[in-house]
């Protein structure tokens, strides 16, 4: 209940985006998408954008792998920063699915103290992931080696590739949303730290 809710995102965002929906998704503890997701839908004209806070993970979470398991193929992926001294990079992915639709994904993680989390941005292979999520977790060593992490993401699907102007706008929107989600998560993170 302390994590961001529907009204944690303003009704109007960026250049004409409007909040149009919200839901909370709950899953099994070790689900690859995280146990919880707070999901907002934003609209602007004919476009629809998904914003999500997903948690909890241990260490780095390779979100694009979740999309590829849902039928998307990654065309391009890069680590990007707002500036050369930006301590909190983001991952940007351009994807396509079997219907020929384009998908664009931006995501970043922060840790249980609310600090930007970089970790192994290439993401662990399946053996390291299983080791991290099960063996070390049950031995309670995972807490020391891999901090609990939280992921902010935006995703948009489009019938045609987005223009450079649209991509620039969405990058800026992602940074605004990411910072807002992290800031509004701080009360919940402080409460988790008390336990």
pLDDT for the residue numbered 108: 96
Altogether, the residues listed in the chain come to a count of 195
Q: Which two tokens stand for residue 109?
A: 């993680």
Q: What's the CA gap between 57 and 33, in Å, rounded?
A: 9
Residue 39 in contact with residue 5, Cβ under 8 Å? Answer: no
Residue 38, sorted as left (phi over 0), alpha (psi -120 to 50) or beta, turns out to be beta
Task: Report CA-CA distances (Å) from 162 to 89, 156, 169, 174.
Answer: 22, 10, 11, 15
pLDDT tens digits for range 64-74: 999 999 999 99
pLDDT for the residue numbered 99: 94
pLDDT for the residue numbered 142: 46
Residue 108 in contact with residue 116, Cβ under 8 Å? Answer: yes
Residue 87 in contact with residue 116, Cβ under 8 Å? Answer: yes
pTM metric for this prediction: 0.85
pLDDT tens digits for range 113-147: 999 998 766 555 444 544 555 555 555 554 557 88
The lowest-confidence range among 145-149, 166-170, 191-195 is: 191-195
Q: What contacts 81, CB < 8 A, 6 or more positions away?
A: 88, 89, 90
């Amino acid at each position: 209940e302390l994590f961001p809710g529907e009204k944690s995102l303003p009704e109007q965002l960026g250049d004409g985006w409007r909040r149009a929906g919200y839901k909370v998704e709950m899953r099994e503890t070790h689900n690859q998408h995280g146990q919880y997701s707070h999901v907002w839908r934003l609209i602007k004209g004919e476009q629809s954008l998904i914003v999500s806070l997903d948690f909890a993970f241990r260490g780095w979470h390779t979100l694009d792998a979740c999309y590829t398991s849902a039928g998307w193929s990654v065309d391009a992926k890069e680590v990007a920063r707002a500036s050369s001294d930006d301590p909190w990079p983001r991952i940007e992915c351009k994807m396509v699915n079997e219907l020929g639709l384009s998908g664009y994904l931006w995501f970043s993680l922060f840790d249980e103290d609310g600090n930007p989390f970089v970790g192994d941005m290439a993401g662990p292979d399946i053996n390291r992931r299983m080791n991290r999520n099960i063996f070390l977790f049950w031995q309670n060593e995972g807490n020391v080696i891999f901090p609990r992490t939280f992921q902010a993401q935006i995703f948009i699907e489009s019938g045609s590739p987005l223009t450079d102007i649209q991509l620039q706008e969405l990058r800026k929107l992602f940074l605004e949303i990411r910072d807002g989600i992290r800031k509004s998560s701080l009360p919940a993170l402080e409460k988790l730290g008390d336990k």
